[in-house]
Amino acid sequence: MSRYRVGIVGFGWVAGAHLKSYADLEQFEPVAVMSRRELDPEMFRREYGVDIKVYNDYDKFLADDALDIVDICTPHPLHPEQAIKAAAAGKDLVIEKPIALDFESAVAMLDAVERAGVRTSVCFEARFISVARAMKSLIDQGMIGDPYYAECDYFHGIGPWYDQFAWNIKKDMGGSSLLTAGCHSMDMMLYLLGLRAEEVFSYSTTNPHEAFAPYEYDTTSLTTIKFECGKVLGKVSSVTDCMQPYVFNMNIVGSQGTLKNDLFHSKKIDGMEGWAKLDVQLVDSGDVEHHPYREQFSYFADCLEKGIEGHNNLASAFETQRVVLAADKSAATGKPVSLKEFSR
């Protein structure tokens, strides 16, 4: 088994959860952190049990021959340039979502990765929670027949009590409700269905509560999706200004049955009358400490070992990015948007 040496770019809330996961996994050795802050290596030994080199210069960080993987945990608008430079340096990549805030930057990232021939893993980690894995397996096995309607909803009140609030409220930093957070629900729908979107239509609004006044963009959006097959519809809501506990809803309706979070019904099972309850972990927390990074990173190590692309690679994230950007354009213009407008 190979052991992959990882350097993390940016060291905030999310990066701490990443580092803890790497430190717990035999396939990885965290060796460096790149930060604009002066961080004490002793802190990493004390809190994470790892020996870390601290860099304040990104070019020097990338020049470190000890790095196999660069993990980008910086604010959203910094991802493209950092990923492009890391790919050019021959480093495999872990990239936090969203990959970018605009289409041109996302295309440039994908071009750079393909040119360099490096492997990638994008942090749509909800795919690795057991409920998502079980739903994907049941759909792929045909247990609900042919899906024709799906909905995935993201409810998370990202107010002043949230660690990213200070910078996330800016449009040039957070982008939109879908880009900064609800992209998890969009990605989940696309992943479960395995279909490409053809057209979207969106509306957006915001909670009038004073806590959300600093936001420079609407914090709630509702998007309907028509898929290329022409017979499948979807609905994605991104509500990042709700006053409620975190909820991530998944509902896939098929010709022979339905999956609704941890509930399952199928006419393919003789004698089944009501709902069966799946013994799975739901996507039920917005705290990064509860996210399945260990499962995602372990999967990435397996992909690297086998020399294959993972299902959550940059190309897959690019498809999610296209649909999110089309949805944001629709909300801004009040018109349906074809995904042909976001073709590479």
Residue 31 clears pLDDT 80, i.e. is over it: yes
- CA 210 to chain CA centroid, Å, is 29
**What is the average pLDDT value for the chain, to the nearest integer?**
96
Q: For position 163, what pLDDT does the model report?
A: 83
What is the C-alpha separation between 310 and 302, in angstroms, rounded?
Answer: 9
Q: Report H helices in 147-230.
A: 165-168, 171-174, 177, 183-193
* CATH for 61: 3.40.50.720
What is the C-alpha separation between 198 and 230, in angstroms, rounded?
Answer: 8
What is the C-alpha separation between 40 and 1, in angstroms, rounded?
Answer: 31
> Is there a single domain that holds both residue 20 and residue 71?
yes
Provide the residue range defining the domain that includes 81. Answer: 4-125+295-312
Q: Which residue has the higher pLDDT, 257 or 162?
A: 257
| Exposure b/e, 298-309, CB count within 10 A at least 16 = b | bbbbebbeeeee
- CA 195 to chain CA centroid, Å, is 17
Strands 147-155 and 120-123: unpaired
Cα–Cα nearest to 91, from 219, 4, 203: 4
Mean pLDDT of 87-113: 98
Q: For position 292, what pLDDT does the model report?
A: 94
> Is there a single domain that holds both residue 163 and residue 118?
no
Residue 102 clears pLDDT 80, i.e. is over it: yes
Q: For position 90, what pLDDT does the model report?
A: 98
> Is there a single domain that holds both residue 300 and residue 337?
no
As a whole number of Å, the end-to-end CA separation of the chain is: 37
Quick: pLDDT tens for 260-294. 999 999 999 999 999 999 999 999 988 777 899 99
Question: 186: number of CA atoms within 13 Å, CB side?
Answer: 36
Tokens for 183, please give them: 């992209």
Mean pLDDT of 172-193: 98
Residue 343 clears pLDDT 90, i.e. is over it: yes
Q: Report H helices in 176-223.
A: 177, 183-193
Band (300; pLDDT cuts 50, 70, 90): very high
Whether the upstream peptide bond of residue 98 has omega within 30° of 0, thus cis, is yes
* CATH for 234: 3.30.360.10
> Is there a single domain that holds both residue 283 and residue 299?
no
Whether the predicted model's global pTM rises above the 0.85 cut: yes
Number of domains in the chain: 2
Per cent of the chain over pLDDT 70 is: 100
Q: For position 297, what pLDDT does the model report?
A: 98
Q: For position 289, what pLDDT does the model report?
A: 76
Q: What angle (nearest 5°) sits at the alpha carbon of residue 219, between those of residues 218 and 225?
A: 85
Amino acid letter for position 97:
K
Mean pLDDT of 68-94: 98
> Is there a single domain that holds both residue 219 and residue 250?
yes
**DSSP states of 248-314 as a string?**
EEEEEEETTEEEETTEEEETTSTT--SPEEP---------GGGS-HHHHHHHHHHHHHHT---TTSH
Band (255; pLDDT cuts 50, 70, 90): very high
> Is there a single domain that holds both residue 184 and residue 325?
yes
Q: For position 243, what pLDDT does the model report?
A: 96
Band (97; pLDDT cuts 50, 70, 90): very high
Q: What are the φ/ψ torsions at residue 21 (nearest 5 degrees)?
A: -65, -45
For tokens 């705290």, the residue is: 287
Q: For position 172, what pLDDT does the model report?
A: 97
Q: Are 119 and 93 in contact (CB under 8 A)?
A: yes
Q: Are 198 and 222 in contact (CB under 8 A)?
A: no
Q: For position 290, what pLDDT does the model report?
A: 80
> Is there a single domain that holds both residue 175 and residue 217?
yes
Listed in sequence order, the residues at least 6 apart from 98 whose beta carbon sits closer than 8 Å to its beta carbon are 76, 79, 175, 179, 180, 183, 321, 324
What is the C-alpha separation between 29 and 22, in angstroms, rounded?
Answer: 7
> Is there a single domain that holds both residue 301 and residue 332?
no
Q: Are 106 and 175 in contact (CB under 8 A)?
A: no
Q: For position 230, what pLDDT does the model report?
A: 85
What is the C-alpha separation between 182 and 172, in angstroms, rounded?
Answer: 17
Per cent of the chain over pLDDT 90 is: 95
Q: Are 193 and 234 in contact (CB under 8 A)?
A: yes
Mean pLDDT of 88-113: 98
Report which secondary-structure segment, H or E, holds 202. Answer: strand 197-205
> Is there a single domain that holds both residue 162 and residue 278?
yes
Residue 191 clears pLDDT 90, i.e. is over it: yes
> Is there a single domain that holds both residue 71 and residue 153?
no
Mean pLDDT of 126-139: 98
Mean pLDDT of 48-67: 97
Tokens for 145, please give them: 């027949």
Q: For position 217, what pLDDT does the model report?
A: 98
> Is there a single domain that holds both residue 308 and residue 280?
no
Mean pLDDT of 315-331: 98
Quick: pLDDT tens for 201-222. 999 999 999 999 999 999 999 9
> Is there a single domain that holds both residue 180 and residue 238?
yes
